[in-house]
Each structure stands twice: as C-alpha cells, then as structure tokens.
Amino acid sequence: MSKKIVKKILRYNAVFEPAEEGGYVVTVPKLPGLVTEGDNFEAALSMVKDAITGYLQVLQDQHEDIPNPDDQSFTAFVEVPFINPKFTSS
C-alpha cells in the first residue's frame, strides 16, 4: 500500500512596505522575526513565500507549533477624512 502525500496550502498576511532604496520590505505579523525584501513587488512576493516556507520548516523540525494561518482575516486600506488645524487656511 502506498503512502498518500497531502499538500495543504496555508495563507498568512504579509505586509509590503516601500523601502527607501526602492523595492519592498516584507513582514508577516503571525511569524515574528520574519523579514525579507525584494527589488520589486514580484521579487518581494517570491522572497516572502520562500521565507515563510523556511520559517515553517524550521518550526516543524524543532517540533514547535505552526501558527494558525490567516484563513479569515485580511488587511485593507481604510480612508478617513482628517482635518488638521495646523494646515487649514485662515
């Protein structure tokens, strides 16, 4: 009887912030200490996927718990009007 391998896709929120020198710095809030970067969005996305895979593999190798994925939560831009009295004209 052959052993069946099951592949599960885990989803984690990643935060892409523009880097001063160009490209993006990426962090994953559920994976403390995970920081990577890329020269453009596509490169940063590839790097963070690789970093997450490595991070989870290390946890698994050390018999530590894998953080629950972000199956239901997500991030979104929320715009609100803000009036700053310092910048209003008289």
Query: For 39-63, how does the pLDDT look when each residue is reduced to its tens digit (9 = 90+)?
Result: 999 999 999 999 999 999 999 999 9
Work out the mean pLDDT of the chain and round it to a whole number: 91
pLDDT of residue 89: 59
pLDDT of residue 71: 87
Any idea which architecture 15-87 has in CATH?
A: 2-Layer Sandwich (3.30)
With a CB cutoff of 8 Å and minimum separation 6, the contacts of 27 are 14, 15, 17, 34, 35
- The reply to whether the predicted model has a pTM over 0.85 is no
Per domain, the residue ranges of the chain are 15-87
pLDDT bucket at 68, cuts 50 / 70 / 90: very high
pLDDT of residue 1: 63
Give how far Cα 71 sits from Cα of 9, 11, 20, 30, 89, Å: 10, 6, 31, 12, 46
